[in-house]
Amino acid sequence: LQKLIHLLQATDDPLIQEQALITLSNSAAFSVNQDIIRNLDGLSVIGGMLSNCIPKVKEKALNALNNLSMNIKNQEEIQVFITQVCRTVESAPLNSDVQLAGLRLLTNMSVTNDYHQRMINSIPCFLQLLSEGTETTQIQVLKVLVNLSANPAVTRHLLRAQV
């Protein structure tokens, strides 16, 4: 895992970045690896890939963070990327793999109320995706909105959102 994280930092080759992110994402299926990746500063390295202009690299980084977000301690570190993930969801092509990967990560990060405040500015976007997206996009958006709606502090933002 350490070598993969170093490789991810050291290369500019998008194909190598994509493969390293896929491997890290698959490794994150095991909770012990989630802790190891966090302890090796892998979350910030993977999060740094969110600014990559290659859609496939960005998608794989979102997928890796999504798998890593199943760990509460990892969520504490991943939360710094929520605003960037929301912007990615808003700017990605409608129904794209990048958009769906971002929505899946936001779904996991919104399971608890801890990070809802970081997502409320994107509520109008979520509602727009609900009306314009494909069924797959709509389902992912609904999961985020259901999680947000469970928080009474978000209710007024949901009801006042202009679409």
Residue 133 carries which DSSP code?
Answer: S
For residues 9 and 24, state if they share a domain. yes
Q: CA 99, CA 45: separation in Å to the nearest integer?
A: 20
Whole-model pTM: value is 0.96
Residue 24 in contact with residue 64, Cβ under 8 Å?
A: yes
- Using the 3D structure, point to which of 79, 111, 130 is the last residue of a domain: 79
Average pLDDT (25-36) is 95
pLDDT of residue 163: 72
Q: Are residues 66 and 85 in the same domain?
A: no
Element (H, E) at 9: helix 2-10
Let me know whether 43 and 68 are in one domain.
yes
Residue at a domain's end among 40, 57, 79: 79
pLDDT in tens, 75-92: 999 999 999 999 999 999
User: Quick one: average pLDDT of 86-104?
Assistant: 98
CATH number reported for the structural domain that contains residue 16 in this entry: 1.25.10.10
Domain that includes residue 49, residue range: 1-79
Residue 119 and residue 56 share a domain? no
CA 81/CA 26 separation, integer angstroms: 20
